[in-house]
Every structure is written in structure tokens, then in C-alpha cells.
Amino acid sequence: MKTTLLAVLFAALCATSPAWAQDDFGGGPDDTTADPAPEPMPEPAPAPEPAPDPEPAVAPAEPEPMESASASEVNPEDHKVGIGTGYVLPTTLDATNTVSVRFRFGRLTLEPVVDFSFDRQTVDVGGADSSTDTLNIGFGSNVRYALADVRGIEFVALGGGRFNFNSVDPEGDENSTNTTSFIVTWGLGLDYWVSSRWVISMAAFNPFFELSRQTQQSIAADSTNSSVGVGLIFNPTVVGMVHLFF
């Protein structure tokens, strides 16, 4: 009985062994190969960065208008006093015949006038000397105002007043002639500033108002003549000068 039971179990075991081997070791026609592992997906390319917005075009700066150099750029802001010499025309040019001092206050310039002179002329007449003395005393002031300036050149309006005494005394007694006058003048001029210290000027002065009194001495009786003149007369006295400012 035991032998029969063992035989049955052995037969059953042999019948089931191929399927067991197939299940455990993957053999046989029904064995299926496992799918290979999927290849890794390529990483997506990074999105391109957006192009930067173009910078707005900057309009080129317009050149600043070129301003002509003015006299205010070279004339003496710090130098207020000028000393000069020159000519009262007409005259010879071998020697100057006038000097002046100017006081500058911005566009306004004052030019005091002081005149003191004495002259004696001697003439030999028939072996005898005859002399004539001339005395002149004057004072006043010219006023200069710069109306406009372009490239170091000022266009100047002129005005002035002057008191003057003149005496002509020939040799002898009671024969002198004395003249007293007061004159108001107007005019125009140009000042060229070579640098902040040096200026060359030309001016034309004309009489506007003149009051004069002349007395002629004589042994018998003195005679007096008076005159008054008013008018915009263009009969200029031309003056050219060079000044150095400090």
C-alpha cells in the first residue's frame, strides 16, 4: 500500500516538473522577454531668452549756439582804475598831447578832466624881446556809458561838462584877454579791449551847450562879450587814447 502511494506521488511529481521548471526559470516556448528600460527622454532645450528691448534712440545734443565774445568777458571787472595817454586830433603823432585817468563802474566810466598849463612865447622885434603869457585852467568830467559790446568792442555814448579859464597876457599893462567858459558835450566812441587790462579808444566829442564870457582889458575901459550856444552840432573833436587798468 505504501509502495503504491509512493509511486503515484512520484508520477504526479514527474508530470508537473516541466511546468514548474518553466515557471521558475523562464524556459519553454511561452517564456516572454522583459521589455527593455525606456531610454531617458532628452532634456528640453532651454527657451531662448527674449531679446532685450532696444534702447530708445537718444537724439544728439544740439550744439549750444556760439556766442560771440563780449567785452564783458575781457573788460576789467576787478580793475577799476585806468591811466592812459593819447592824442587830441589834429596833431602830429611824434608825441602824445593828452593824458587821462578813468574810473570804471561796470558799464559806466568816469573820466575827470583837469587842465593846467602855462606857456610863454618870446618874439625878438627890432632887438627888443616881446613876450606873451598864456594861462589855461580847466576841470570837469567826461562820462562814458557802454551801450553794446561785440567781440571785445564796446559802443560808447559820451557826455561831459567842463569849466575853463583862459588868459592871454601880452607884454605891457592892461592888455590881457580873459575868457571864462562852461561847456556841455556829447559824442560817440569805440573801446577795443585788447585784454582785461589794455583798452584802445576813439571818441568824437561835439558841443551841445556853451556859455562863455570874454573880457578884454584896455587902459581906457574894459570890454566884455558874452555868448550862449545850444544845439546838436556835429563838429567833433577826435581823441584817440590807450589806457592801462589796474
Residue ranges of domains in the chain, CATH in brackets: 71-245 (2.40.128.90)
- Overall pTM > 0.75: no
Instruction: Please write the tens of the pLDDT for every residue from 64-118.
Output: 554 444 555 566 566 799 999 999 998 888 889 889 999 999 899 999 998 888 9
CB neighbours (10 Å) of residue 61? Answer: 6
Mean pLDDT of the chain, nearest integer = 82
Instruction: Please write the tens of the pLDDT for every residue from 202-238.
Output: 999 999 999 999 999 988 888 999 999 998 888 899 9
More confident residue, 58 or 146: 146
